[in-house]
């Protein structure tokens, strides 16, 4: 619920590109030095898309944890099948949340609801799952 709450807060007029540019640019320039306006627009766009990717990737892992804790493994199901079922549900929840977020943004001034953002968000969730499998589940083995 906390992860979805963060998405809801970020889906407001306060977090439009026009507003985030004002506080992100000084941070960027403090770290990397001055940047021209045209270049900044490009950098700002990539920062915002990276935010989509990582935010929804993290949310997807939170959905995964919720499904792993909520569902029980079926008798005829292996641990890998159970994990895959929970991961599929988490990715579906990520897709549905991203879709609702983008639909909501279509009704806000200064926001655009784009299906390409839904795809980016869902891919973020999927790749965070892949990284989790490779970095955590593979190291722990079948009992984890």
Domain boundaries, the chain: 2-27+38-140
Q: How confident is the model at residue 69 (pLDDT cuts 50, 70, 90)?
A: very high
Question: Quick one: pLDDT at residue 143?
Answer: 54
Least confident of 11-15, 17-21, 83-87, 117-121: 11-15
With b for 16 or more beta-carbon neighbours within 10 A and e for fewer, the 50-66 pattern comes to eebbebbbebbbbbbeb
Residue 138, pLDDT > 80, answer no
42 versus 138: which is more confidently predicted?
42
Q: How far apart are CA 5 and CA 38, in angstroms?
A: 33
Question: Quick one: pLDDT at residue 83?
Answer: 94
CA-based nearest residue to 56, from 105, 117, 115: 117
Residue 102, pLDDT > 90, answer yes
- Contact call for residues 93 and 25 (beta carbons, < 8 A): no
Model confidence pLDDT, tens digit, residues 1-20:
889 998 888 887 777 788 89
Q: How far apart are CA 42 and CA 49, in angstroms?
A: 11
Question: Quick one: pLDDT at residue 98?
Answer: 96
- Contact call for residues 87 and 64 (beta carbons, < 8 A): yes
Model confidence pLDDT, tens digit, residues 47-67:
999 998 999 999 999 999 999
Question: Quick one: pLDDT at residue 47?
Answer: 95
Task: Give alpha helix (H) positions in the chain.
Answer: 2-10, 17-32, 37-70, 79-105, 115-132, 138-140
Mean of pLDDT over the chain: 91
């Amino acid at each position: 619920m906390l992860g979805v709450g963060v998405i809801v807060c970020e889906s407001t007029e306060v977090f439009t590109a026009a507003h985030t540019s004002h506080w992100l640019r000084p941070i960027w320039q403090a770290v990397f030095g001055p940047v021209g306006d045209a270049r900044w627009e490009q950098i700002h766009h990539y920062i915002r898309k990276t935010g989509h990717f990582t935010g929804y990737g993290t949310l997807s892992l939170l959905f995964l944890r919720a499904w792993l804790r909520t569902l029980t493994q079926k008798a005829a199901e292996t641990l890998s099948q159970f994990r895959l079922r929970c991961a599929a549900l988490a990715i579906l929840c990520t897709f549905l949340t991203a879709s609702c977020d983008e639909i909501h943004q279509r009704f806000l001034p200064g926001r655009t609801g784009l299906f390409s953002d839904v795809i980016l968000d869902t891919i973020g969730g999927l790749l965070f799952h892949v990284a989790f499998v490779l970095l955590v589940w593979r190291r722990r083995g079948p009992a984890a």
